Chain A
């Protein structure tokens, strides 16, 4: 291919990257260090990130909540992946199709669906609180938020793990058993090492998604839960307008997520097995 053809061929991708990724990032980085009124360089907004309780707390909450949600997705996703090995290809295909549905739904719609189901006057609470007088489930708590996000994350994690388990060569398991390994040893020496890269890949995707998670949280709890994404939103909305501070928060979110993804991806590459 001639050079000019290559450039033409790649240009849509380059334009896309420039417009939607590189330009916004550069803009954010510059403005996080720029005084909004004077236009001079300042470290004030970045310093705020480490000094204001609201920001350090949001950072910690985002990390903890993302880790928790990823953990839930990892546990259930792995179990579902393992269970899927008991089905034939056709049934597995149906499960995979069903699990693709949540990802196509808008976070806002799902939030309202959960309010109808688990909200203060939702079906669940009417049965368990009003009729059975057992307990009240608070959808607007961290637990409620975690369950709502699990609706997206468990299928996402499961899809990766279903594919990973499907590609797991069953004769590896049989070979290990033939060589004297019991069920636990088969998992320890064969299944887990072989599946680890896929597991880490799924962890990366879900974790990155959760760090930026915003729509459902806002729809459910407004600004009551102090997350980085919510903080950013509050600084670009009317109530608390401060664009440079929002830029600095976005920078923090980006750097944190990128660092963790870098660690996960490096680990994944090292564990990735060539076959």
Chain B
């Protein structure tokens, strides 16, 4: 049985169409991320699954059960909110115990379970603190434990990391994913952060203006974006506007590149170049046979830790090239360089598809 099925979901607020024809099926234990810019409808989908919004059209099945008309408190889903939403008048233990208290479970059972959950989120010893005495990361762990306390069939995470500091965010990102795999709980995660989506998910759903653009594994989304929007939103890219000839040759300014993956046969086209697909050398002799070659001048070198990003001006366009730091051998701004790429890498889309 599918853990979650959302079928042809539509939702409007006034005359704003928030979600248009959203369809998704989730396997049990899967971690799926809804990714998109703000206002793309991803949170609306999540809130509809939680029962906080009513679908205008479409069905939601939670483990086979049609749930459109089930009130939020009767749904078997646990939710974690962006702003933590911890009850400020309750201690950590009372917050975590809330769902069990509502179900009137015996005190000793509640106490035992709260202890287990605190251990699970590594907060043992903080049970008697109040939310205002905790850090952001700690609060979100409490919120996670509280959502798990009712043993939900599906976990819903609404941008749970976006209010946190970069360092805590990265750490908690890994912890949530490990916890999710350990518990095997089906999880629907909403974020606008492509890095979170790529690192945490089994599958990513990229959305724009309420419409699904692409569903796929992080690898598929990154390597094989379905349109320029996905390519632009997920990962960094340089875009070249040109023309396709016979589905094999891309003409950009007076350069001709051989390409193998084009969605256009003839006519105006847009080529996507990932910074990692490009290589950079000083002399043409080092370029492998069959590569597409461009000449340019380095305009900026930025050190990003594990990688170095080089901005190269080629025919008045800025193109980004990335290489592992250990492979970087000292280009400087102003150096004349040769940039090349294999015909296997770049994707070519019809021009009429917009990036934004």
Contacts and interface: CB of A to CB of B under 8 A. Distances in A.
Interface of A: 169, 171-172, 174-182, 185, 189-190, 193-194, 273-275
A174 B102 contact: no
Most buried by B among A172, A179, A181: A179
B58 interface: no
A180 B99 contact: yes
Given A178-B72, A179-B146, A172 B132 contact: no
A179 B81 contact: no
Given A177-B52, A178-B72, A180-B102, 11 more contacts: A169-B83, A169-B85, A172-B87, A175-B85, A179-B98, A179-B99, A179-B146, A180-B73, A181-B102, A273-B132, A274-B132
Given A180-B99, A193-B89, A174 B52 contact: yes
Given A273-B88, A273-B89, A274-B132, A176 B83 contact: no
B89 A177 contact: no
A137 to B, nearest CB: 44
Contacts of A273: 88-89, 132
Contact of A175 (B74, B75, B81, B149): B81
Most buried by B among A172, A175, A181, A185: A175
A174 B85 contact: yes
Q: Which 3 A-B pairs have the closest CB atoms?
A: A171-B85, A179-B99, A175-B85
A181 B95 CA distance: 13
Contact of B98 (A169, A176, A193, A194): A176
B346 interface: no
B81 A171 contact: yes
B87 A189 contact: yes
Contact of B87 (A177, A180, A190, A274): A190
B79 interface: yes
A182 B103 CA distance: 11
A27 B11 CA distance: 69
Nearest to A182: B73
A172 B103 contact: no
Contacts of B103: 180
A178 B70 CA distance: 12
A151 B265 CA distance: 77
Contact of A178 (B73, B87, B89): B73
Contacts of B81: 171, 174-175
30 contacts: A169-B83, A169-B85, A171-B82, A172-B87, A174-B50, A174-B85, A175-B79, A175-B85, A175-B87, A175-B143, A177-B51, A177-B71, A177-B72, A178-B50, A178-B73, A178-B75, A178-B78, A179-B146, A180-B74, A180-B99, A180-B102, A180-B103, A181-B73, A181-B98, A181-B102, A182-B73, A185-B102, A194-B89, A274-B130, A275-B132
Nearest to B50: A178
Most buried by A among B51, B89, B132: B89
Contacts of A274: 88, 130, 132
Contacts of A193: 89
A175 B73 CA distance: 9
B161 interface: no
Interface in B67-115: 71-75, 77-79, 81-83, 85-89, 98-99, 102-103
A174 B88 contact: no
Nearest to B101: A189
Contact of A180 (B86, B88, B150): B150
Interface string B43-66: 000000011100000000000000
Nearest to A178: B79
A177 B73 contact: yes
Interface string B122-150: 00000000111000000000010011011
Contacts of A179: 73, 78, 98-99, 102, 146-147, 149-150
Contacts of A189: 87, 98
A205 B81 CA distance: 36
Contacts of A169: 83, 85
Contacts of B85: 169, 171-172, 174-175
A193 B90 CA distance: 10
A207 to B, nearest CB: 24
Contacts of A180: 73-74, 99, 102-103, 150
Contacts of B130: 274
A190 to B, nearest CB: 6
A178 B77 contact: yes
Given A177-B73, A178-B72, A274-B132, A171 B88 contact: no
A43 to B, nearest CB: 47
Nearest to A275: B88
A181 B150 CA distance: 12
B88 A194 contact: yes
Most buried by A among B83, B86, B88, B149: B88
Contacts of A194: 88-89
Contacts of B82: 171
A169 B86 CA distance: 10
Nearest to A190: B87
Contacts of B52: 174, 177
Contacts of A177: 51-52, 71-73
B255 to A, nearest CB: 53
B47 to A, nearest CB: 8
Contacts of B99: 179-180
A154 B88 CA distance: 28
Nearest to A177: B72
Contacts of B131: 275
Interface in B296-351: none
A193 B87 CA distance: 10
A169 to B, nearest CB: 7
